[in-house]
Amino acid sequence: MRYLAIDEIKDGMLLAKDLFSNEGKVLLAKGTKLTRAYLERLKDFDFTHLYVLDSENDDDREIMGPVSEVTKAQAIKIVKDTLGKALVVQNVDLKQMNMVADIILDEVLENNDVIYNMLDLKEHDNYTYVHSVNVCIISTIMGKHLGLPRDRLKELAMGTLLHDLGMVYIDPEILNKMTNLTPEETKQVQDHARLGFERLRTYTGLSILSAHVAYQHHEREDGSGYPRGLKGDEIHLYAKIAAVADSFDAMTSNKLYREPLWSHEAIAELKANAPTKYDRKAVAALSWSVAPYPVGSVLLLSTGEKAVVVNTNRRKTVVQFLEGKRKNQFLELGKDADLQIEKRLA
């Protein structure tokens, strides 16, 4: 199984995972033979990359993500609905969001070796919603590694799902601008943290600590963040976790104005910025919680061989050779001390 740019996919390759629309409906089922016509259509839906199998004999073991694809699609839809309603009604009913946060928690808590190993099929139109769900999943796994009990993980999950709610009040023209923002526009965008908090604090049934995730997720340890320039202990643990997860997801996402970093590069950058910008414990939790080489990554090994990551969790990373003498064979990285990862190719 491989994760390829749509233009690199050849006629007849098979889709390795179900594809969901923004509304959570299956667009194309796993196992579908891909044709040019399908691929062109998927481009219209803003898909840029897909998980594919080269043939029916290809290894198609389930990709063990931290949460199921169905849960993720459902969560994206609910975040989208909730944020949309925040613009028009005063008190949004959070019943559905509570339900989806509980499902994410169940799935994350169920698996002891759980790790965030998703390569995302991100779409620009949906960025805020997909991003909110990613930040929630990553933060929940981090919180679990930090030993938070379920009730606190729930506050963290709700806070992270809603952390960018304030974005709905920002002029879309500014958000979609391709050029640099003026200082005035930057100020307006930064105001999303406060605006989100002001709204969330009025929601019945939502913990004030969840609302503070929205308020504080852009604060930085040295006081260089916004909106209040809080420092160190003034920043709540949930917001420290959310800041790291938020930055990680933003760094590794496709955005219009820059190339995404690979997961291992983003982890290294966050480590380099701790403890100045990010809390050291939170960054350590991130490095236990996300796969440096997610399933589908194509690696160049020190032997000169190319291999694709087919399975990864906290304890191991399994690759399948793509060429050479060992083509199609599997290997657990780390088992052979002489074999190192030289670099990530795709």
CB nearer to Fe ion: pick between 155 and 219? 219
Q: Are 161 and 97 in contact (CB under 8 A)?
A: yes
Q: Looking at residue 9, what DSSP letter applies?
A: P
CB of 52 to Fe ion, least distance (A): 33
**172: preceding bond cis by omega (within 30 degrees):** no
CB nearer to Fe ion: pick between 73 and 168? 168
CB of 214 to Fe ion, least distance (A): 8
CB of 75 to Fe ion, least distance (A): 18
CB nearer to Fe ion: pick between 1 and 167? 167
CB nearer to Fe ion: pick between 50 and 230? 230
Can you read off the two tokens belonging to residue 300? 């160049």
**227: preceding bond cis by omega (within 30 degrees):** yes
Distance, in Å, from the CA atom of 335 to the CA atom of 200, rounded to the nearest integer, reads 49
CB nearer to Fe ion: pick between 27 and 175? 175
Q: Which residue is nearest to Fe ion (CB)?
A: 164
CB of 92 to Fe ion, least distance (A): 19
Can you read off the two tokens belonging to residue 271? 């480590």
CB nearer to Fe ion: pick between 159 and 296? 159
Distance, in Å, from the CA atom of 227 to the CA atom of 197, rounded to the nearest integer, reads 11
Residue 330: strand, helix, or coil? strand
CB of 91 to Fe ion, least distance (A): 22
Q: In the sheet that 317-321 helps form, which strands lie side by side, from edge to edge? A: 330-332, 317-321, 306-312, 298-301, 341-344
Residue 299: strand, helix, or coil? strand
Q: Are 219 and 225 in contact (CB under 8 A)?
A: yes
CB of 164 to Fe ion, least distance (A): 5
CB of 201 to Fe ion, least distance (A): 17
CB of 19 to Fe ion, least distance (A): 28
CB of 163 to Fe ion, least distance (A): 6
Residue 172 vs residues 41, 135, 167, 176: alpha-carbon distances, Å: 26, 22, 9, 6
CB nearer to Fe ion: pick between 64 and 189? 189
Nearest to 127 by CA among 313, 276, 256: 256
Can you read off the two tokens belonging to residue 48? 């840029």
Can you read off the two tokens belonging to residue 206? 């939502």
Is the torsion defined by CA of 139, 200, 192, 225 positive or negative? Answer: negative
User: Which residues are within 8 A (CB) of 273 and not within 5 positions of it... i.e. 6 or more apart?
Assistant: none
CB nearer to Fe ion: pick between 1 and 135? 135
Please give the residue ranges that form the binding site for Fe ion (CB under 5 A): 164
Report the DSSP beta bridge partners of residue 311.
318
CB nearer to Fe ion: pick between 164 and 305? 164
Which residue do the tokens 């260089």 mark? 224
